[in-house]
Amino acid sequence: MKKAVLIPVYNHGKACMEVVDTLAPFCQENDIKIILVDDGNGSETKSFLAKICEKHGSLVDLVANEKNCGKGVAFRKGIFHAQERGFTHILQLDADGQHDSSRCGFFFECAEKNPSAMICGYPEYDETAPECRKNAHKFANMWCEIVTWQGGIVDSLCGFRIYPVDETCRFLKHGHIDSRMGFDIDILIKLIWRGVPFEFHPVRVTYLSDGVSNFHAFRDNVRISWVFTKFCFGMIVRSPLLLWRKIRGR
């Protein structure tokens, strides 16, 4: 395995610097690259990203979108960069510092045992977690199990997740994923539909290290609802395949 950490960055320059500073010793010790994707940031965040690259040198790759395109587009750019560099697995985590990065080692160990699978995080909340976020995750998880005909989807929104690079890129070359806040749900369901195995493990989540959130309640909830609407139609089309997998699994 050749491993990398992928961090899409938008308006979280200071928090991202803290995340990279925390990750750097682990990544250096284990020969893991950090790939930052500048998703059309303003000058302040670009300044932080430049300082990160200056401080950590060859440990960090920085790729950029000219304008803000959303998390899904940033992820796509980052994982294709990882494939070009020969990486086999990437761990995506958020730039805002909400994920417990000390879990990276355990997640990569899981990927080594099950290299064809997505290794997905589910949040262990602390006292900073808003109740509305917890309820939104429960609602999304229920719908994911419905449209995939799969149990065991513990969390569909957590952005702490390892992807097998080649299989994910094969899908992305021809498949569409939501460009913004529906991304984590969208790619999870579509890779499950393609037969990619998955497993879930806990990761501690704290809201938020720099007080900045890119989630807009009305706009992004409407977007996620539209994603699930499309999945309901997709489930109907795929129902014979899903039924066959269900029977075979039993």
Which residues are within 8 A (CB) of 138 and not within 5 positions of it... i.e. 6 or more apart? Answer: none
Q: Using 50, 70 and 90 to split pLDDT, how confident is the model at 209?
A: very low
**118: nearest Cα among 158, 176, 73, 59:** 158
The pLDDT value recorded for residue 216 is 52
Rounded to 5 degrees, what are φ and ψ at 244? -60, -45
CA 12/CA 34 separation, integer angstroms: 16
Q: What is the pLDDT of residues 34-91, one digit of tens each?
A: 999 999 999 999 999 999 999 999 999 999 999 999 999 999 999 999 999 999 999 9
Question: What SS3 string covers 164-233?
Answer: EHHHHHHHHCCCCCCCCCCHHHHHHHHHHHCCCCEEEEEEEECCCCCCCCCCCHHHHHHHHHHHHHHHHH
Q: What is the pLDDT of residues 144-189, one digit of tens each?
A: 888 887 888 899 889 899 999 999 999 999 877 877 767 898 899 9
Q: Which amino acid is at 121?
A: G
